[in-house]
Amino acid sequence: MGENNRFSSGYTFSEGRTGGDQLVEFTCRPEEVEQVKEFLKIIRTIDIPTTGRVAVGHGGYSQYTRYNITQHKYAAGGQAYIEVLEIKNPPDGRCGIVINEYHNGDSVFTEWHTLEHALEAYEKGWGSWKTDKVFPTLKGFVRRVICNVLTPWFYAIGDEELVGDYTFPRGLQDDVVYRFGRKFVVSDRDGGTPEIKTCMGTCFYTEKGTDGYGREKKYYHRFVYWDDGSFFDAHNYTSNPPYPLEESELWIMEAICQFKKEILTGNKKRFTINFIGGGTFVGSFQNKSRAPRAEGDYCVDATFKDGTKDRGWVENFKPTQENPNVIGYISKKCDSQGRPIESIKILDSKTKKGGKKWSGVFRSKKSLSLNCS
């Protein structure tokens, strides 16, 4: 069968634009996505018969989406709701199993490995509205995304663009300062720790009101939307306004990226950033415990509490949150075998080149796969 059966194996969903800027959905093999996108550029338009947008029922109202979605569970009360959604055609590797929530003015969604995991989580958490505490502890949980005023990607309609976890907000305008894609240093109202955020666009509107003397007055509002779902209201925000990230501050972004990518994952214990003027920023992980943490093989002498001794190699040790160092790993393994250890001495080691240097602060990557099919 060979070539005729080429679509019987794994494929992925994606989106691209034609030469006439028409948004098109397609399915193909994962390695062919970019090739199909380039091919679409030579086509002006593609006309496909359609019955219109799909409405996902929400009790007394509906939400529109261009994706093929099944709503498996739904509950609402007051100004809040929670639903379990299965997106049949998630583009570009996005997770297709989500629990979408809205309550107390906050909009969030969580991703799950399987539909069964999401349904079990729904039954355990839907009535408490404390899902931010409950869901991350449950089996199958992948991650939690805060949307606030932004629309999650799976409720995109028409030819709206997807930007990360969200749809590009409709009705937004560009601004001479707050321009889409530009990074800003943003502080909270109390002047707390500043964060670096990316601008998603700006919305302007006016409202009528009165001044302190009862006279009619127009108030002008400018809302700036950030990539994490939060926003900045220039009218009601008088101190610590956001300011553009300057070129001289780009090292901060680089430090944050390296800290997340190298240090927190346990790939390295140290990184440096060299400044143009000759200065150097150094970030490093330090631990008072001298127990070996690096990935590799270890030759050990073990003395057991029953007085017996043993010597040998422990192969393929890899630091994890459960077993951050080789001493603890050996002790735990021997305890499970009914041979509690009195002391351990490391005689030799062969650490793996390019392996993990320590356990990092994140959970096992095996539990974080975004393939939710």
Contact (Cβ atoms closer than 8 angstroms) between residue 319 and residue 285: no
CA torsion angle for 89, 94, 98, 102 (degrees, to 10)?
-110
Low-confidence ranges of the chain (pLDDT < 70): 1-9, 47-62, 105, 129, 169-174, 176, 188-193, 235-239, 246-269, 271, 273-279, 281, 283-290, 358-373
Predicted pLDDT at 142: 94
Report the distance separating Cα 277 and Cα 309, nearest Å.
Answer: 58
Note the pLDDT tens digit of each residue in 71-91: 999 888 777 888 999 999 898
Predicted pLDDT at 140: 93
Predicted pLDDT at 1: 36
Report the distance separating Cα 227 and Cα 93, nearest Å.
Answer: 20
Q: Which of 129, 254, 239, 252 is nearest to 192 (CA)?
A: 239
Indicate the pTM of the whole model. 0.48
* 197 backbone dihedrals φ, ψ, rounded to 5°: -125, 160
Three-class secondary structure assignment of the chain = CHHHHCCCCCCEEEEEECCCCCEEEEEECHHHHHHHHHHHCCCCCCCCCCCCCEEEEECCEEEEECCCEEEEEEEEECCEEEEEEEECCCECCCCCEEEEEEECCEEEEEEECCHHHHHHHHHHHCCCCCHHHHHHHCCCEEEEEECCCCCEHHHCCCCCCEECCEECCCCCECCCCCCCCCEEEECCCCCCCCEEEEEEEEEEEEEEEECCCCCEEEEEEEEEEECCCCEEEHHHCCCCCCEECCHHHHHHHHHHHHHHHHHCCCCCCEEEEECCCCCEEEEECCCCCCCCCCCEEEEEEEEECCCCEEEEEEEEECCCCCCCCHHHHHHHHHHHCCCCEEEEEEEEEEECCCCCCCCCCCCCHHHHCCCCC
Predicted pLDDT at 13: 87
Contact (Cβ atoms closer than 8 angstroms) between residue 203 and residue 193: no
Class of 171-245 in CATH: mainly beta
Predicted pLDDT at 22: 84
